[in-house]
Amino acid sequence: MGKSLLRPVFLEVPFVSQPVGRVPQRRNARSNRARILATARQELGRNPDITLEELARASGVVRRTLFGHFPGRAALLDALAEEAAEALQAAIAVGAGVTEPADRALAHFTLALWPVGDRYRMLLALARRDLGMDRVAGILEPARVRVTAILEQGQRDGVFHTHLPAPVLSVGLEAMTVALLEEVNTGALEDDGTRVAVTTLIAAGVPEKRAQIVVDEMAATDA
């Protein structure tokens, strides 16, 4: 019997290679975006009216690169707002679930959030004009909820005064912190958060000496 004419047929799948420069390009894009946002945080604090062209030069990128990430001022500010919200949530999460006296909890919270507020304080100058107060209030809402819970605990334990309901007192402390951040914007105040933390405890009803001791202890623990 002769040899069969049927032979196995192997399907050849063409090999498709990835573009050589794709991964580095993506990495460069992320790096450029991060650099633009970092520069925006700094430059907008100095000059809220800086143009995107000026910001591109300050970031060390060409105009087309900046507009590729942020097609307009609104997109840039929206990205900064999202970044601030994420940083705030991360700072709040650090102390979540930790049981400690209310005065220490409030000091810990204030010290943890002050660097975030300091980093994004330029948003305060832009809030009314560009972002809108509703957007800023939405960013700050998780912090307000956490502070209110701490104040309620402290009022139950007799650590904080009860002249104001906890939610109202929380709003007042928030307004004070925002005002102090604005003073940092003007150069009238320099602080690593400790002075503001002491002031916050005093405003909540903690005696000054006790407030200073608590903040010093928490600052040493967090260092």
Domains and CATH numbers, the chain: 20-71 (1.10.10), 73-222 (1.10.357.10)
Q: Is the pLDDT of residue 1 over 50?
A: no
- Angle (CA) 168-77-137 rounded to 5° is 10
Q: What is the dihedral of CA 187, 142, 203, 107, to 10 degrees?
A: -80
Q: What are phi and psi of 86, to 5 degrees?
A: -65, -40
Q: Is the pLDDT of residue 13 over 80?
A: no
Lowest mean pLDDT among 62-76, 82-96, 179-193: 82-96
- pLDDT value, residue 95: 64
On whether the CB atoms of residues 43 and 50 are closer than 8 A, the answer is yes
Of residues 57 and 20, the one with the higher pLDDT is 57
CA-based nearest residue to 202, from 176, 171, 165: 176
> What pTM value is reported for the model?
0.77
Q: Is the pLDDT of residue 192 over 80?
A: yes
Lowest mean pLDDT among 2-11, 74-83, 165-174, 206-215: 2-11
Q: Is the pLDDT of residue 119 over 70?
A: yes
Expressed in angstroms, the distance from the first to the final Cα of the chain is: 89
- pLDDT value, residue 132: 80
132: left (phi over 0), alpha (psi -120 to 50) or beta: left
